[in-house]
């Protein structure tokens, strides 16, 4: 990928590292198997258990997988700083307290690897979730989206994300994307930085 041979998700993690700090509140809008949730927890939770990750997924299986990976990867004090919910990300404001000062909202769209490919993110709820994320985000924060264009419905969903980003006012948002020009079905990374 852009930085050597890294996968799209690894490139996203590099960008997160530039934006988030210990003690921040961040959101994983698509927990899946928990790899992103763990990466986020390691970035924001400090030795005094400050910092907070809200994770969500529509699938209870995904929440279980994420919970197990967190238990293996974090010490118990840090584990307490991650809150998991089996809900649709379009409802994120129901679980994230008002005035939470969210630094980053991460989306890794599509289906659960190794799971039911029928349970998949879709344009309508992804758009609602992006709108919710936009309101929760702090100035200086970022919405990070990994969008898959190789599976049915994926391109349409990516185009929804792209259209949403394209319409944000340039004086308040810096919207960019990373895509592989010589590999058109590779995942596309979209970043929405709030000024």
> What are the residues binding ligand SAM (CB under 6 A)?
30-36, 56-59, 62, 88-89, 108, 110-112, 119-121, 125
> Among candidates 102, 100, 98, 68, which has minimal Cα distance to 84?
68
> Which CB, 87 or 174, lies closer to ligand SAM?
87
Provide the minimum distance between the beta carbon of 150 and ligand SAM in the complex, in angstroms, as a whole number. 12
> Which CB, 71 or 172, lies closer to ligand SAM?
71
> Which CB, 64 or 125, lies closer to ligand SAM?
125
d(CA 161, CA 130): 8
Provide the minimum distance between the beta carbon of 71 and ligand SAM in the complex, in angstroms, as a whole number. 15
d(CA 126, CA 120): 10
> Which CB, 1 or 174, lies closer to ligand SAM?
1
**Residue 139 backbone phi and psi in degrees, to 5:** -55, 140
| Residue number closest to ligand SAM, CB atom | 32
Provide the minimum distance between the beta carbon of 28 and ligand SAM in the complex, in angstroms, as a whole number. 6
Provide the minimum distance between the beta carbon of 195 and ligand SAM in the complex, in angstroms, as a whole number. 27
């Amino acid at each position: 990928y852009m930085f050597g041979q890294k996968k799209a998700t690894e490139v996203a993690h590099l960008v997160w590292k530039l934006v988030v700090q210990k003690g921040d509140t961040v959101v994983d809008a698509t927990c899946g198997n928990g790899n992103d949730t763990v990466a986020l927890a390691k970035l924001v939770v400090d030795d005094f258990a400050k910092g907070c990750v809200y994770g969500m997924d529509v699938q209870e299986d995904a929440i279980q997988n994420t919970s197990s990976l967190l238990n293996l990867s974090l010490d118990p004090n840090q584990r307490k700083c991650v809150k998991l919910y089996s809900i649709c990300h379009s409802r994120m404001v129901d679980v994230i307290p008002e005035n939470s000062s969210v630094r980053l909202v991460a989306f890794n769209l599509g289906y659960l690897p190794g799971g039911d490919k029928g349970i998949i993110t879709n344009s309508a709820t992804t758009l609602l979730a992006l709108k919710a994320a936009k309101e929760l985000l702090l100035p200086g924060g970022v919405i990070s989206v990994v969008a898959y264009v190789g599976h049915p419905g994926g391109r349409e969903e990516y185009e929804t994300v792209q259209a949403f980003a394209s319409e944000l006012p340039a004086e308040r948002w810096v919207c960019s994307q990373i895509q592989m020009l010589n590999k058109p079905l590779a995942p596309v990374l979209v970043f929405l930085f709030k000024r």
